[in-house]
Chains A and B, each alone.
Chain A
Amino acid sequence: MSLVIRKYCSIVNACINVDGKTAFSDPEQDGFKKFIRAAYRHFETDYPKFFKMDSLSKLGFLSVEVLLKGESISGKYPIEKTGIILTNGSSSLQVDEKHWDTIRNREQYFPSPSNFVYTLPNIMAGEAAIRHEFRGENTVLISEGFDAELIFNITDLAFKTGSLESCICGWVEQYEDNYESLLFLVEQSGHENMVEKSEEDVIFEPSTLLKIYKQEL
Protein backbone atom coordinates (compact mmCIF):
# COMPACT_ATOMS: atom_id res chain seq x y z
CA MET A 1 0.00 0.00 0.00
CA SER A 2 1.33 3.43 -0.77
CA LEU A 3 -0.24 6.70 0.20
CA VAL A 4 -0.56 9.51 -2.26
CA ILE A 5 -1.33 13.21 -2.02
CA ARG A 6 -4.36 13.66 -4.26
CA LYS A 7 -4.55 17.37 -3.78
CA TYR A 8 -3.23 20.10 -1.52
CA CYS A 9 -4.39 23.55 -0.58
CA SER A 10 -2.57 26.40 1.10
CA ILE A 11 -3.79 29.67 2.56
CA VAL A 12 -1.41 32.48 3.50
CA ASN A 13 -1.01 36.22 2.87
CA ALA A 14 -4.56 36.67 1.55
CA CYS A 15 -3.92 34.03 -1.11
CA ILE A 16 -5.37 30.55 -1.61
CA ASN A 17 -3.50 28.02 -3.73
CA VAL A 18 -4.72 24.63 -4.89
CA ASP A 19 -2.04 22.23 -6.10
CA GLY A 20 0.34 25.14 -6.27
CA LYS A 21 -1.88 27.31 -8.45
CA THR A 22 -3.64 30.45 -7.23
CA ALA A 23 -7.36 29.83 -6.76
CA PHE A 24 -8.17 33.09 -5.01
CA SER A 25 -6.31 36.12 -3.83
CA ASP A 26 -7.60 39.24 -2.17
CA PRO A 27 -5.84 42.35 -3.47
CA GLU A 28 -7.24 44.43 -0.59
CA GLN A 29 -4.97 42.64 1.93
CA ASP A 30 -7.12 44.10 4.66
CA GLY A 31 -6.70 41.67 7.53
CA PHE A 32 -7.76 38.07 8.13
CA LYS A 33 -11.42 38.68 8.90
CA LYS A 34 -12.19 40.49 5.66
CA PHE A 35 -10.06 38.11 3.63
CA ILE A 36 -11.69 34.94 4.92
CA ARG A 37 -15.17 36.35 4.29
CA ALA A 38 -14.21 37.34 0.75
CA ALA A 39 -12.81 33.85 0.17
CA TYR A 40 -15.97 32.27 1.58
CA ARG A 41 -18.03 34.22 -0.95
CA HIS A 42 -15.62 33.59 -3.81
CA PHE A 43 -15.98 29.80 -3.44
CA GLU A 44 -19.77 30.19 -3.25
CA THR A 45 -19.90 28.41 0.07
CA ASP A 46 -23.41 28.14 1.45
CA TYR A 47 -23.01 27.46 5.15
CA PRO A 48 -24.34 30.25 7.42
CA LYS A 49 -22.78 28.61 10.52
CA PHE A 50 -19.43 29.75 9.14
CA PHE A 51 -20.10 33.25 10.44
CA LYS A 52 -20.49 32.00 14.01
CA MET A 53 -17.08 30.34 14.03
CA ASP A 54 -13.92 31.75 15.59
CA SER A 55 -11.05 32.70 13.29
CA LEU A 56 -9.15 29.40 13.67
CA SER A 57 -12.24 27.35 12.80
CA LYS A 58 -13.01 29.66 9.87
CA LEU A 59 -9.52 29.07 8.51
CA GLY A 60 -9.64 25.30 9.05
CA PHE A 61 -13.16 25.02 7.70
CA LEU A 62 -12.47 27.01 4.55
CA SER A 63 -9.19 25.18 3.91
CA VAL A 64 -11.06 21.85 3.93
CA GLU A 65 -13.82 23.39 1.83
CA VAL A 66 -11.46 24.52 -0.92
CA LEU A 67 -9.45 21.28 -0.78
CA LEU A 68 -12.58 19.19 -1.33
CA LYS A 69 -14.18 21.36 -3.99
CA GLY A 70 -15.07 19.03 -6.83
CA GLU A 71 -14.19 15.89 -4.79
CA SER A 72 -16.73 13.50 -3.35
CA ILE A 73 -14.77 11.81 -0.62
CA SER A 74 -17.69 11.19 1.73
CA GLY A 75 -19.56 9.24 -0.95
CA LYS A 76 -16.58 7.08 -1.87
CA TYR A 77 -15.44 5.59 1.44
CA PRO A 78 -17.29 4.08 4.42
CA ILE A 79 -18.35 6.95 6.69
CA GLU A 80 -15.99 5.94 9.49
CA LYS A 81 -12.97 5.64 7.19
CA THR A 82 -12.36 9.28 6.37
CA GLY A 83 -10.42 11.20 8.97
CA ILE A 84 -9.12 14.68 9.72
CA ILE A 85 -5.71 14.97 11.37
CA LEU A 86 -4.61 18.54 11.95
CA THR A 87 -1.63 20.16 13.61
CA ASN A 88 -1.57 23.66 15.02
CA GLY A 89 0.79 25.88 17.00
CA SER A 90 -1.21 28.33 19.09
CA SER A 91 -4.14 26.10 19.99
CA SER A 92 -7.21 28.30 20.45
CA LEU A 93 -5.32 31.09 22.21
CA GLN A 94 -7.01 33.86 20.21
CA VAL A 95 -10.47 32.90 21.39
CA ASP A 96 -9.13 31.90 24.84
CA GLU A 97 -8.13 35.53 25.34
CA LYS A 98 -11.59 36.62 24.24
CA HIS A 99 -13.19 34.31 26.83
CA TRP A 100 -10.77 35.55 29.47
CA ASP A 101 -11.84 39.15 28.76
CA THR A 102 -15.42 38.20 29.64
CA ILE A 103 -14.47 36.85 33.08
CA ARG A 104 -11.40 38.80 34.24
CA ASN A 105 -13.53 41.40 35.95
CA ARG A 106 -16.25 40.14 38.30
CA GLU A 107 -18.14 43.42 37.88
CA GLN A 108 -18.37 42.80 34.14
CA TYR A 109 -18.76 39.04 34.12
CA PHE A 110 -20.46 37.68 31.00
CA PRO A 111 -18.95 34.35 29.82
CA SER A 112 -20.69 33.18 26.68
CA PRO A 113 -21.18 29.56 25.61
CA SER A 114 -20.98 30.46 21.92
CA ASN A 115 -17.50 31.81 22.54
CA PHE A 116 -16.37 29.19 25.06
CA VAL A 117 -17.13 26.26 22.74
CA TYR A 118 -14.39 27.47 20.40
CA THR A 119 -11.74 27.44 23.13
CA LEU A 120 -10.58 24.03 21.89
CA PRO A 121 -8.44 23.62 18.78
CA ASN A 122 -10.24 20.46 17.66
CA ILE A 123 -13.50 22.32 17.11
CA MET A 124 -12.22 23.29 13.65
CA ALA A 125 -11.89 19.60 12.82
CA GLY A 126 -15.36 18.97 14.24
CA GLU A 127 -16.83 21.75 12.08
CA ALA A 128 -15.29 20.25 8.94
CA ALA A 129 -16.44 16.74 9.98
CA ILE A 130 -20.02 17.96 10.34
CA ARG A 131 -19.95 19.77 7.01
CA HIS A 132 -18.63 16.76 5.07
CA GLU A 133 -20.03 13.96 7.28
CA PHE A 134 -16.61 12.51 8.03
CA ARG A 135 -16.98 10.08 10.93
CA GLY A 136 -13.43 8.77 11.03
CA GLU A 137 -10.57 9.64 13.31
CA ASN A 138 -10.46 13.29 14.12
CA THR A 139 -7.42 14.60 15.89
CA VAL A 140 -5.60 17.85 16.61
CA LEU A 141 -1.98 17.76 17.66
CA ILE A 142 0.05 20.78 18.73
CA SER A 143 3.50 21.49 17.32
CA GLU A 144 5.62 24.61 17.45
CA GLY A 145 5.67 24.89 13.66
CA PHE A 146 4.89 22.80 10.59
CA ASP A 147 6.16 19.31 11.46
CA ALA A 148 6.23 17.06 8.40
CA GLU A 149 7.32 13.98 10.39
CA LEU A 150 4.48 14.36 12.89
CA ILE A 151 1.81 14.83 10.21
CA PHE A 152 3.20 11.90 8.25
CA ASN A 153 3.60 9.49 11.19
CA ILE A 154 0.14 9.97 12.67
CA THR A 155 -1.62 9.85 9.30
CA ASP A 156 0.44 6.92 8.01
CA LEU A 157 -0.25 4.86 11.16
CA ALA A 158 -3.98 5.56 10.95
CA PHE A 159 -3.93 4.06 7.42
CA LYS A 160 -1.63 1.17 8.42
CA THR A 161 -3.90 0.07 11.27
CA GLY A 162 -6.84 0.13 8.88
CA SER A 163 -8.55 2.96 10.77
CA LEU A 164 -8.66 5.21 7.72
CA GLU A 165 -8.96 4.84 3.97
CA SER A 166 -8.81 8.55 3.21
CA CYS A 167 -7.67 11.51 5.24
CA ILE A 168 -7.32 15.26 5.27
CA CYS A 169 -4.19 16.21 7.16
CA GLY A 170 -1.90 19.15 7.59
CA TRP A 171 -1.29 22.39 9.44
CA VAL A 172 -3.75 25.15 10.38
CA GLU A 173 -2.43 28.04 12.44
CA GLN A 174 -3.97 31.35 13.43
CA TYR A 175 -3.11 33.80 16.18
CA GLU A 176 -3.56 37.56 16.17
CA ASP A 177 -2.68 38.79 12.65
CA ASN A 178 -0.85 35.65 11.63
CA TYR A 179 -2.53 32.85 9.79
CA GLU A 180 -1.47 30.04 7.49
CA SER A 181 -2.74 26.64 6.51
CA LEU A 182 -1.56 23.78 4.35
CA LEU A 183 -3.80 20.75 3.96
CA PHE A 184 -3.32 17.53 2.05
CA LEU A 185 -5.93 15.10 0.79
CA VAL A 186 -4.40 11.65 1.19
CA GLU A 187 -5.67 8.40 -0.30
CA GLN A 188 -4.28 4.93 -0.89
CA SER A 189 -2.98 4.36 -4.35
CA GLY A 190 -4.70 1.41 -5.96
CA HIS A 191 -7.66 1.57 -3.58
CA GLU A 192 -10.82 0.54 -5.41
CA ASN A 193 -12.58 3.76 -4.47
CA MET A 194 -9.79 6.04 -5.53
CA VAL A 195 -10.22 7.87 -8.78
CA GLU A 196 -6.81 7.75 -10.43
CA LYS A 197 -5.32 11.02 -11.48
CA SER A 198 -4.02 11.43 -14.99
CA GLU A 199 -0.58 12.70 -14.00
CA GLU A 200 1.92 10.94 -11.74
CA ASP A 201 0.77 10.47 -8.15
CA VAL A 202 2.66 12.48 -5.55
CA ILE A 203 3.87 10.07 -2.87
CA PHE A 204 2.85 11.01 0.68
CA GLU A 205 6.11 11.14 2.65
CA PRO A 206 7.77 13.65 5.00
CA SER A 207 10.20 15.01 2.41
CA THR A 208 7.33 15.79 -0.01
CA LEU A 209 5.32 17.48 2.74
CA LEU A 210 8.30 19.63 3.63
CA LYS A 211 8.99 20.48 0.00
CA ILE A 212 5.39 21.62 -0.53
CA TYR A 213 5.45 23.55 2.74
CA LYS A 214 8.57 25.45 1.68
CA GLN A 215 7.07 26.15 -1.70
CA GLU A 216 3.68 27.32 -0.39
CA LEU A 217 4.13 29.02 2.99
Chain B
Amino acid sequence: MKPVFAGAENIISSLGFSAVENISNILTGNTGIAIDDSGIYFPSALPLSKVDYAQLENLFAGTVPGEQGKFTMLEKMFILSITDALQQSNINITSPDTLLIITTTKGNIDLLDPDLQKEFGKQRIFLHEMAKVITGFFNNPNRVMIISNACISGVLGIVYGERLIRSGKYRNVIVSGGDLMSEFIVSGFQSFQSLSEKACKPFDKSRDGLTLGEGCGTIIMSSGADSFNDIDVRVLGGAGSNDANHISGPSRTGEGLFLAIRQAMNLAGIIPEKIDSISAHGTATDYNDEMEAIAFSRAGLESVPLNSYKGYIGHTLGAAGVIEAAISLRSMKMNMLFRSAGYEHHGVTKKISVIKENMEKEINTCLKTASGFGGSNAAVIFQKV
Protein backbone atom coordinates (compact mmCIF):
# COMPACT_ATOMS: atom_id res chain seq x y z
CA MET B 1 0.00 0.00 0.00
CA LYS B 2 1.39 3.36 -1.01
CA PRO B 3 1.45 6.32 1.39
CA VAL B 4 -0.54 9.30 0.15
CA PHE B 5 0.77 12.84 0.61
CA ALA B 6 -1.31 16.00 0.27
CA GLY B 7 -0.37 19.59 -0.39
CA ALA B 8 -0.37 22.38 -2.99
CA GLU B 9 -3.46 24.05 -1.58
CA ASN B 10 -5.40 26.71 -3.40
CA ILE B 11 -8.40 28.56 -2.04
CA ILE B 12 -10.61 30.97 -3.97
CA SER B 13 -13.20 32.55 -1.71
CA SER B 14 -14.46 35.90 -0.50
CA LEU B 15 -11.15 36.11 1.39
CA GLY B 16 -8.93 35.94 -1.65
CA PHE B 17 -7.54 33.91 -4.51
CA SER B 18 -4.76 31.92 -2.88
CA ALA B 19 -4.27 29.90 0.29
CA VAL B 20 -1.78 32.52 1.54
CA GLU B 21 -4.26 35.36 1.06
CA ASN B 22 -7.10 33.43 2.70
CA ILE B 23 -4.98 32.40 5.70
CA SER B 24 -3.67 35.92 6.17
CA ASN B 25 -7.26 37.22 6.33
CA ILE B 26 -8.27 34.47 8.76
CA LEU B 27 -5.31 35.32 11.02
CA THR B 28 -6.32 38.98 10.97
CA GLY B 29 -9.88 38.01 11.84
CA ASN B 30 -11.40 39.32 8.63
CA THR B 31 -14.63 37.76 7.47
CA GLY B 32 -15.64 37.68 3.82
CA ILE B 33 -19.33 37.73 4.66
CA ALA B 34 -21.09 40.97 3.72
CA ILE B 35 -24.65 42.15 3.23
CA ASP B 36 -25.64 41.78 -0.41
CA ASP B 37 -28.44 44.09 -1.47
CA SER B 38 -27.83 43.78 -5.22
CA GLY B 39 -31.14 41.96 -5.67
CA ILE B 40 -29.37 39.51 -7.98
CA TYR B 41 -29.60 36.56 -5.63
CA PHE B 42 -32.63 37.40 -3.58
CA PRO B 43 -35.33 40.08 -3.59
CA SER B 44 -34.22 41.47 -0.21
CA ALA B 45 -30.81 42.07 1.41
CA LEU B 46 -28.97 39.06 2.83
CA PRO B 47 -25.47 38.35 4.14
CA LEU B 48 -23.49 36.34 1.58
CA SER B 49 -19.87 35.39 1.07
CA LYS B 50 -19.03 36.43 -2.49
CA VAL B 51 -15.94 36.05 -4.63
CA ASP B 52 -14.77 39.35 -6.15
CA TYR B 53 -15.69 38.73 -9.81
CA ALA B 54 -13.86 41.80 -11.12
CA GLN B 55 -10.63 40.54 -9.61
CA LEU B 56 -11.37 37.01 -10.78
CA GLU B 57 -11.73 38.27 -14.36
CA ASN B 58 -8.49 40.23 -14.08
CA LEU B 59 -6.60 37.25 -12.75
CA PHE B 60 -8.07 35.02 -15.43
CA ALA B 61 -7.17 37.46 -18.19
CA GLY B 62 -3.62 37.52 -16.85
CA THR B 63 -3.40 33.72 -16.60
CA VAL B 64 -5.17 32.75 -19.83
CA PRO B 65 -5.09 35.81 -22.10
CA GLY B 66 -7.87 36.17 -24.67
CA GLU B 67 -9.95 33.20 -23.49
CA GLN B 68 -12.35 34.85 -21.02
CA GLY B 69 -15.39 34.39 -23.26
CA LYS B 70 -14.92 30.64 -23.53
CA PHE B 71 -15.53 29.78 -19.91
CA THR B 72 -18.33 30.21 -17.40
CA MET B 73 -17.64 31.94 -14.09
CA LEU B 74 -17.35 28.63 -12.24
CA GLU B 75 -15.07 27.12 -14.89
CA LYS B 76 -12.80 30.15 -14.53
CA MET B 77 -12.62 29.54 -10.78
CA PHE B 78 -11.73 25.89 -11.31
CA ILE B 79 -9.07 26.73 -13.89
CA LEU B 80 -7.46 29.44 -11.73
CA SER B 81 -7.59 27.26 -8.63
CA ILE B 82 -6.01 24.22 -10.28
CA THR B 83 -3.41 26.39 -12.02
CA ASP B 84 -2.32 27.90 -8.70
CA ALA B 85 -2.17 24.46 -7.01
CA LEU B 86 -0.05 23.06 -9.85
CA GLN B 87 2.47 25.84 -9.32
CA GLN B 88 3.08 24.53 -5.79
CA SER B 89 3.83 21.02 -6.98
CA ASN B 90 6.00 19.31 -9.55
CA ILE B 91 3.37 16.81 -10.69
CA ASN B 92 2.46 16.63 -14.36
CA ILE B 93 -1.25 17.18 -15.06
CA THR B 94 -0.91 15.89 -18.63
CA SER B 95 0.37 12.50 -17.44
CA PRO B 96 -1.85 9.38 -17.50
CA ASP B 97 -0.68 8.94 -13.87
CA THR B 98 -2.68 12.00 -12.81
CA LEU B 99 -6.43 11.95 -12.23
CA LEU B 100 -8.63 15.00 -11.82
CA ILE B 101 -11.58 14.81 -9.40
CA ILE B 102 -14.16 17.58 -9.62
CA THR B 103 -16.57 17.99 -6.71
CA THR B 104 -19.61 20.24 -6.98
CA THR B 105 -23.26 20.31 -6.02
CA LYS B 106 -24.68 22.49 -8.78
CA GLY B 107 -21.90 23.20 -11.30
CA ASN B 108 -22.96 25.68 -13.99
CA ILE B 109 -26.47 26.03 -12.56
CA ASP B 110 -26.46 29.74 -13.51
CA LEU B 111 -26.89 28.56 -17.11
CA LEU B 112 -30.56 27.86 -16.40
CA ASP B 113 -30.88 31.56 -17.15
CA PRO B 114 -31.83 31.71 -20.86
CA ASP B 115 -29.43 34.59 -21.62
CA LEU B 116 -26.42 32.75 -20.24
CA GLN B 117 -27.61 29.52 -21.83
CA LYS B 118 -27.56 31.22 -25.23
CA GLU B 119 -23.94 32.15 -24.68
CA PHE B 120 -22.64 28.73 -23.63
CA GLY B 121 -25.27 26.24 -24.83
CA LYS B 122 -27.53 24.10 -22.71
CA GLN B 123 -25.18 21.11 -22.80
CA ARG B 124 -22.82 22.97 -20.45
CA ILE B 125 -25.28 22.62 -17.54
CA PHE B 126 -24.48 18.92 -17.43
CA LEU B 127 -21.75 18.38 -14.85
CA HIS B 128 -19.85 16.01 -17.12
CA GLU B 129 -19.72 18.67 -19.82
CA MET B 130 -18.38 21.27 -17.40
CA ALA B 131 -15.82 18.80 -16.07
CA LYS B 132 -14.73 17.94 -19.62
CA VAL B 133 -14.12 21.62 -20.35
CA ILE B 134 -11.84 21.86 -17.30
CA THR B 135 -9.93 18.66 -17.95
CA GLY B 136 -9.66 19.62 -21.63
CA PHE B 137 -8.15 22.97 -20.69
CA PHE B 138 -5.38 21.19 -18.81
CA ASN B 139 -4.95 18.41 -21.41
CA ASN B 140 -5.41 15.72 -18.80
CA PRO B 141 -5.74 12.42 -20.64
CA ASN B 142 -7.96 10.62 -18.10
CA ARG B 143 -11.70 10.58 -17.81
CA VAL B 144 -12.43 13.11 -15.08
CA MET B 145 -14.16 11.81 -11.93
CA ILE B 146 -17.13 13.90 -10.76
CA ILE B 147 -18.64 13.68 -7.29
CA SER B 148 -21.96 15.39 -6.65
CA ASN B 149 -22.99 14.34 -3.21
CA ALA B 150 -24.35 17.49 -1.59
CA CYS B 151 -22.17 19.18 1.01
CA ILE B 152 -19.89 16.20 1.59
CA SER B 153 -18.75 16.13 -2.06
CA GLY B 154 -15.39 17.77 -1.31
CA VAL B 155 -14.43 15.50 1.58
CA LEU B 156 -15.48 12.45 -0.46
CA GLY B 157 -13.22 13.67 -3.27
CA ILE B 158 -10.27 13.56 -0.87
CA VAL B 159 -11.32 10.16 0.53
CA TYR B 160 -11.61 8.63 -2.95
CA GLY B 161 -8.42 10.30 -4.17
CA GLU B 162 -6.56 8.74 -1.25
CA ARG B 163 -7.94 5.28 -2.02
CA LEU B 164 -7.12 5.52 -5.73
CA ILE B 165 -3.52 6.45 -5.01
CA ARG B 166 -3.06 3.99 -2.16
CA SER B 167 -4.23 1.12 -4.33
CA GLY B 168 -1.77 2.15 -7.04
CA LYS B 169 -4.35 3.17 -9.66
CA TYR B 170 -2.87 6.66 -9.99
CA ARG B 171 0.27 8.38 -8.76
CA ASN B 172 -1.39 11.77 -8.42
CA VAL B 173 -4.92 13.00 -7.86
CA ILE B 174 -5.95 16.62 -8.11
CA VAL B 175 -9.17 17.21 -6.23
CA SER B 176 -10.89 20.49 -6.97
CA GLY B 177 -14.23 21.50 -5.47
CA GLY B 178 -16.28 24.47 -6.63
CA ASP B 179 -19.73 25.98 -6.36
CA LEU B 180 -21.17 29.31 -7.45
CA MET B 181 -23.48 31.73 -5.67
CA SER B 182 -26.76 31.71 -7.56
CA GLU B 183 -30.35 32.80 -7.24
CA PHE B 184 -31.15 29.10 -7.55
CA ILE B 185 -29.29 28.18 -4.36
CA VAL B 186 -30.18 31.25 -2.32
CA SER B 187 -33.92 30.97 -3.04
CA GLY B 188 -33.89 27.27 -2.16
CA PHE B 189 -32.10 27.66 1.17
CA GLN B 190 -34.28 30.65 1.97
CA SER B 191 -37.40 28.55 1.31
CA PHE B 192 -36.05 26.14 3.93
CA GLN B 193 -35.72 29.12 6.29
CA SER B 194 -32.19 28.02 7.00
CA LEU B 195 -30.41 31.30 6.20
CA SER B 196 -29.34 33.69 8.97
CA GLU B 197 -30.01 37.41 8.68
CA LYS B 198 -26.53 38.02 10.11
CA ALA B 199 -23.15 36.44 9.42
CA CYS B 200 -23.44 32.82 10.58
CA LYS B 201 -22.24 31.87 14.08
CA PRO B 202 -21.30 28.17 14.14
CA PHE B 203 -21.74 26.44 17.54
CA ASP B 204 -22.76 29.74 19.17
CA LYS B 205 -25.75 30.11 21.47
CA SER B 206 -27.33 32.76 19.26
CA ARG B 207 -26.79 30.95 15.95
CA ASP B 208 -29.87 31.03 13.77
CA GLY B 209 -28.89 29.70 10.39
CA LEU B 210 -26.22 29.46 7.76
CA THR B 211 -24.62 31.96 5.41
CA LEU B 212 -24.12 30.88 1.82
CA GLY B 213 -20.74 31.25 0.20
CA GLU B 214 -19.09 30.49 -3.10
CA GLY B 215 -15.62 29.53 -4.18
CA CYS B 216 -13.25 26.86 -5.27
CA GLY B 217 -10.56 24.89 -3.51
CA THR B 218 -7.89 22.53 -4.78
CA ILE B 219 -5.60 20.00 -3.10
CA ILE B 220 -3.11 17.75 -4.82
CA MET B 221 -2.49 14.25 -3.51
CA SER B 222 0.42 12.11 -4.57
CA SER B 223 2.29 8.95 -3.66
CA GLY B 224 5.51 10.87 -4.27
CA ALA B 225 6.81 12.56 -1.12
CA ASP B 226 8.86 14.83 -3.39
CA SER B 227 5.78 16.12 -5.23
CA PHE B 228 5.50 19.16 -2.97
CA ASN B 229 7.82 21.98 -2.03
CA ASP B 230 6.97 22.24 1.66
CA ILE B 231 6.25 20.09 4.74
CA ASP B 232 4.75 16.71 4.01
CA VAL B 233 1.29 15.86 5.23
CA ARG B 234 -0.19 12.41 4.71
CA VAL B 235 -3.82 11.52 4.11
CA LEU B 236 -4.32 8.53 6.39
CA GLY B 237 -7.80 7.60 5.24
CA GLY B 238 -11.44 8.45 5.39
CA ALA B 239 -14.96 7.15 5.13
CA GLY B 240 -18.53 8.08 4.36
CA SER B 241 -21.81 7.19 6.03
CA ASN B 242 -25.51 7.86 5.93
CA ASP B 243 -27.87 8.81 8.76
CA ALA B 244 -30.67 6.71 7.22
CA ASN B 245 -32.93 9.09 9.06
CA HIS B 246 -34.13 12.11 7.05
CA ILE B 247 -33.27 13.59 3.64
CA SER B 248 -33.14 17.23 4.72
CA GLY B 249 -32.73 17.20 8.51
CA PRO B 250 -29.67 16.11 10.49
CA SER B 251 -29.93 13.08 12.74
CA ARG B 252 -30.81 13.89 16.36
CA THR B 253 -28.36 11.28 17.63
CA GLY B 254 -25.34 12.12 15.47
CA GLU B 255 -25.18 8.41 14.64
CA GLY B 256 -24.21 8.81 10.97
CA LEU B 257 -21.40 11.31 11.56
CA PHE B 258 -20.19 9.27 14.54
CA LEU B 259 -19.99 6.17 12.31
CA ALA B 260 -18.03 8.06 9.63
CA ILE B 261 -15.57 9.40 12.23
CA ARG B 262 -15.13 6.00 13.86
CA GLN B 263 -14.59 4.35 10.50
CA ALA B 264 -12.08 7.01 9.45
CA MET B 265 -10.15 6.56 12.71
CA ASN B 266 -10.15 2.78 12.23
CA LEU B 267 -8.88 3.05 8.66
CA ALA B 268 -6.25 5.58 9.72
CA GLY B 269 -5.25 3.52 12.75
CA ILE B 270 -5.69 6.56 14.99
CA ILE B 271 -7.16 6.75 18.50
CA PRO B 272 -9.11 9.88 19.60
CA GLU B 273 -6.25 10.97 21.91
CA LYS B 274 -3.98 11.36 18.87
CA ILE B 275 -6.20 13.91 17.12
CA ASP B 276 -4.90 17.45 17.64
CA SER B 277 -7.53 19.48 15.83
CA ILE B 278 -10.89 19.16 14.10
CA SER B 279 -12.16 21.10 11.13
CA ALA B 280 -15.88 20.60 11.62
CA HIS B 281 -18.66 21.22 9.12
CA GLY B 282 -20.41 23.69 11.47
CA THR B 283 -23.06 25.31 9.29
CA ALA B 284 -24.59 27.28 12.19
CA THR B 285 -28.07 25.85 11.78
CA ASP B 286 -29.54 24.87 15.10
CA TYR B 287 -29.89 21.15 14.40
CA ASN B 288 -26.69 20.60 12.42
CA ASP B 289 -24.30 22.01 15.02
CA GLU B 290 -26.08 20.16 17.81
CA MET B 291 -25.85 16.91 15.83
CA GLU B 292 -22.12 17.44 15.23
CA ALA B 293 -21.47 18.15 18.89
CA ILE B 294 -23.20 14.90 19.86
CA ALA B 295 -21.16 12.95 17.30
CA PHE B 296 -17.81 14.47 18.38
CA SER B 297 -18.67 13.85 22.00
CA ARG B 298 -19.61 10.22 21.30
CA ALA B 299 -16.34 9.77 19.41
CA GLY B 300 -14.36 10.87 22.50
CA LEU B 301 -13.25 14.15 20.92
CA GLU B 302 -14.71 16.63 23.48
CA SER B 303 -11.35 18.15 24.34
CA VAL B 304 -9.93 18.44 20.84
CA PRO B 305 -9.70 22.06 19.57
CA LEU B 306 -12.36 22.45 16.90
CA ASN B 307 -13.50 25.11 14.50
CA SER B 308 -15.81 25.83 11.62
CA TYR B 309 -14.50 28.10 8.87
CA LYS B 310 -17.99 29.05 7.74
CA GLY B 311 -17.95 32.20 9.86
CA TYR B 312 -15.22 33.48 7.49
CA ILE B 313 -16.31 32.28 4.07
CA GLY B 314 -19.86 30.96 4.47
CA HIS B 315 -21.04 27.56 3.32
CA THR B 316 -19.43 26.86 -0.04
CA LEU B 317 -21.40 23.59 -0.58
CA GLY B 318 -19.55 21.20 -2.90
CA ALA B 319 -16.38 23.24 -2.49
CA ALA B 320 -16.54 23.35 1.30
CA GLY B 321 -14.78 20.05 1.98
CA VAL B 322 -11.80 20.89 -0.20
CA ILE B 323 -11.52 24.56 0.82
CA GLU B 324 -11.73 23.71 4.52
CA ALA B 325 -9.30 20.80 4.18
CA ALA B 326 -6.91 23.21 2.41
CA ILE B 327 -7.15 25.64 5.34
CA SER B 328 -6.60 22.72 7.72
CA LEU B 329 -3.43 21.63 5.89
CA ARG B 330 -2.09 25.19 6.24
CA SER B 331 -3.05 25.21 9.90
CA MET B 332 -1.08 21.98 10.42
CA LYS B 333 1.98 23.23 8.56
CA MET B 334 1.93 26.51 10.53
CA ASN B 335 1.17 24.76 13.85
CA MET B 336 -1.55 27.32 14.36
CA LEU B 337 -5.15 26.88 15.50
CA PHE B 338 -7.51 29.37 13.88
CA ARG B 339 -10.32 31.02 15.80
CA SER B 340 -13.80 29.75 14.93
CA ALA B 341 -15.36 33.02 13.69
CA GLY B 342 -18.77 33.87 15.16
CA TYR B 343 -18.37 31.71 18.26
CA GLU B 344 -18.77 33.55 21.56
CA HIS B 345 -21.08 31.63 23.89
CA HIS B 346 -21.29 27.85 23.87
CA GLY B 347 -24.51 26.89 22.16
CA VAL B 348 -24.63 23.11 21.95
CA THR B 349 -25.65 20.67 24.70
CA LYS B 350 -22.39 18.67 24.58
CA LYS B 351 -18.97 19.79 25.67
CA ILE B 352 -16.79 20.44 22.63
CA SER B 353 -13.73 22.70 22.50
CA VAL B 354 -14.47 25.43 19.98
CA ILE B 355 -11.40 27.61 19.35
CA LYS B 356 -11.92 31.17 20.64
CA GLU B 357 -8.56 32.72 19.78
CA ASN B 358 -5.82 32.01 17.25
CA MET B 359 -3.08 30.13 19.05
CA GLU B 360 0.10 28.26 18.38
CA LYS B 361 -0.09 24.54 18.94
CA GLU B 362 1.76 21.56 17.58
CA ILE B 363 -0.76 19.97 15.19
CA ASN B 364 0.28 16.56 13.94
CA THR B 365 -3.08 14.99 13.24
CA CYS B 366 -6.25 16.67 12.03
CA LEU B 367 -9.78 15.37 11.45
CA LYS B 368 -11.96 16.96 8.76
CA THR B 369 -15.68 16.19 8.67
CA ALA B 370 -18.71 17.12 6.56
CA SER B 371 -22.42 16.42 6.64
CA GLY B 372 -25.12 17.21 4.14
CA PHE B 373 -28.55 16.80 2.62
CA GLY B 374 -29.52 13.24 1.90
CA GLY B 375 -28.26 12.30 5.38
CA SER B 376 -24.70 11.98 4.16
CA ASN B 377 -21.55 12.32 6.29
CA ALA B 378 -17.85 11.98 5.59
CA ALA B 379 -14.62 12.16 7.58
CA VAL B 380 -10.95 12.17 6.62
CA ILE B 381 -7.76 12.26 8.69
CA PHE B 382 -4.51 14.08 7.85
CA GLN B 383 -1.18 13.59 9.61
CA LYS B 384 2.14 15.40 9.36
CA VAL B 385 5.04 13.16 8.42
Contacts and interface: CB of A to CB of B under 8 A. Distances in A.
A58 to B, nearest CB: 13
Given A80-B259, A130-B244, A135-B243, A99 B188 contact: yes
A161 B163 contact: yes
Interface in A93-130: 93, 96-97, 99-100, 102-104, 106, 109, 111-113, 116-117, 119-123, 125-127, 129-130
Interface residues of A, number: 55
Contact of B128 (A112, A121, A143): A143
Given A97-B112, A113-B191, A120-B150, A138 B376 contact: yes
Interface in B264-279: 266-267
Interface of A: 79-80, 83-84, 89-91, 93, 96-97, 99-100, 102-104, 106, 109, 111-113, 116-117, 119-123, 125-127, 129-130, 132-144, 147, 150, 153-154, 157-158, 160-163
A32 to B, nearest CB: 19
B151 to A, nearest CB: 9
B160 interface: yes
B128 A142 contact: yes
Nearest to A141: B147
B189 to A, nearest CB: 8
Interface stretch (B233-241, B323-331, B337-345): B233-241
B190 to A, nearest CB: 7
B254 interface: no
Contacts of A113: 188, 191-192, 248
B218 to A, nearest CB: 19
B43 A109 contact: yes
Contacts of B336: none
A106 B39 CA distance: 10
Contacts of A104: 112-113
A134 to B, nearest CB: 6
Given A119-B184, A122-B372, A130-B375, 19 more contacts: A79-B259, A89-B126, A89-B128, A96-B106, A99-B188, A111-B187, A113-B248, A116-B192, A120-B148, A120-B150, A122-B376, A126-B375, A135-B241, A137-B242, A139-B156, A143-B128, A161-B163, A163-B239, A163-B263
B160 to A, nearest CB: 7
B191 A141 contact: no
A137 B240 contact: yes
Sort A-B residue pairs by CB-CB distance and give the 4 closest, nearest first. A126-B374, A116-B188, A137-B240, A138-B242
24 contacts: A80-B263, A90-B126, A93-B126, A96-B106, A96-B109, A99-B187, A99-B188, A109-B43, A116-B189, A116-B191, A120-B105, A122-B149, A122-B150, A125-B242, A130-B246, A135-B244, A136-B240, A136-B242, A137-B241, A138-B374, A138-B375, A139-B156, A141-B146, A161-B237
